[in-house]
Structure 1
Amino acid sequence: MARTSARTLELLSLLQTADRWGGPELAARLGVSLRTLRRDIETLRGLGTPVVSSGGRHATYRLAPGAVLPPLRLDGEQAVAISLALQTAPVSVLGLRDAADRALGTLAQVMPPELRAQVDATRVTTVRNYWDFSDAPIDPDVVAAVGDAVRRGHLLRAEVLRPDRSRPAPGEPDFEPPRRLEPHHLVLWAGRWYVVAFDLGAADWVIHRVDRLHPLMPTGVPFERRPLPATDVGEYVRSHPDRGDTPAHWQCLGSAVLSLPAGVVGMWAPGGSVVEDLGRDRCRLVLGAWSWAGIAGILATFDCEVSQVEPVELRRACTDLSDRFRQAGTGQGHPPSNPRA
């Protein structure tokens, strides 16, 4: 009986890891016959777990949505993975940190001692990265509305907000009618949420900052999914020069024209920067840092011709940094004249 109960729990765990299992494959994983597998499936059903199966010799099995969440069975690796995910969850969604802490506490209470010991051994402290920006967390209702349209494949009507997230009113110079979007993918990059969509009005692919959208009432209108403009949607967002971004709030903010394609610069530019495509393998990069020397150092990493550097403080920092590196190349060096330049 103990072996049967353990196998039933293992079966439940396997069903939770895939959308659908083939009967022979599932039986092989459990080390049982197909007849025993069918008996274990009936045991799960008797416990209230909704398992859907297809008929025939090569039946398939999957968990169906049920009114009651079935019990979760986690092994050590899964428990540690969930623990780390909850502890390092991004704080880009309003209220997520508190919800993650409560979820972690709930898991810890029901874990057996050996799993809890593994989780306790992976306690971590997250520290804001140098490039983390100071945007306010996104409203979870907005993420849910856009995500639901993506999942269902429904047309999304949304207004584009100003950088400060205010809504332009009709008659104001920057007012635009709501966009009609076919949302295909949600992408989280550099702590910001983006939606890759096909804009019916512009008849082209666009990338919108989700926190800059104000979704209107759900349309319920389905759309036929189009082939994406890139095989890797994450890379498409990273390398796209126009993501609806504005520079993050920094103590120093500057810009320069780089002799590189916008896609290349957009791929490697820090989060919170803006890349403007100027054509002919040129682009303008707008970015910030805690010092002018910091911006100058980032520009140097692109290893290309740099021009139209603004403002004057950034030009001075470039000159000062050049002098420092020249001195460093001779093996002499000298203390910087202004560490905060």
Structure 2
Amino acid sequence: MLETSARLLRLLSLLQAHREWSGPDLADRLNVSPRTVRRDVDRLRELGYPVNASPGTGGGYQLGAGAELPPLLLDDEEAVAVAVGLRTAAGQGIEGIGETSVRALAKLEQVLPGRLRRRVGALNAFTVPMLRGPQTSSVDPGVLTELANLCRDGERLRFAYRGHDGTDSRRTVEPYRLVCSERRWYLVAFDLDRADWRTFRVDRVTPKPPHGPRFVPRRPPAEDLAAYVSEGVSTRAYATHAVVRLLVPLQEAAERVSPTAGVLEAEGPESCLLRTGAGSLDVMVVHVVLLGFDFEVLEPDGLTEAIRTARDRLSRALARTERPGTPGVNL
């Protein structure tokens, strides 16, 4: 009986991995007769798996879609990938998806073997969702899992890091949490060499084991780590900071302002505050204007002067363009 059950699982795995198998090929893979293959296919059908069979020399067996979803077989990496996808979906804010994803993740963790349960559990416990923006960076799932395990176990992490300017450095940190946005993954950690909290893009991290020793986690830099990372990558990372009042409701502003472009704060029913950063005041003017909202500058004073300069420059350009006899397209 045990041999038959194991063979059925092997048959199911083969059917899931390949679009269509001939009877002789399956018999050869399972080291059984074609008659045994036919009997095993009938058993799978009794268990609810829709196995289609086409006769003839070009025919074979194919796993089809049924009225109900039967159990699926996943290898180790597939199980971890599904867990990551479910955890990300749980934090996307899509109505009806988050709760369903959590339930599915709980079911997956319940049946995982011990060697995978710890990996999936680490990803679940040490990931914070941050919304918006298309995914633009690729992260090695193995690195992601390794970082999650170190966060969970409280072990020091040593890694090579490539900065935004392309320079490489070696870092030793106490990892605390992974923060997931729709665009990127970030690691929040206490940098021992700089004696301060830092945020690292995971796609720029290359772990350099061995790791350790163990440490007692410090008090985190903020209660809301998603907001902390958002402020770090959109504001603190830049030399020029600004606060402007957007004259639109918070929900409308959030449709255009991603967490990596600025931090939004509710102010009233018809306005909200935006805290953001840029490389210079001139770049800040372009950044704020291109949001497409009416706004009011709160700080710094230099931003108001930069807007005046840009206004005057645009006015002169319009005057020259609209002057009779001037080449170009009238605006």
Q: TM-score scaled to structure 1, two decimals?
A: 0.38
- Structure having the higher Rg: 2
Give the helix-richer structure, 1 or 2.
Answer: 2
Q: TM-score scaled to structure 2, two decimals?
A: 0.39
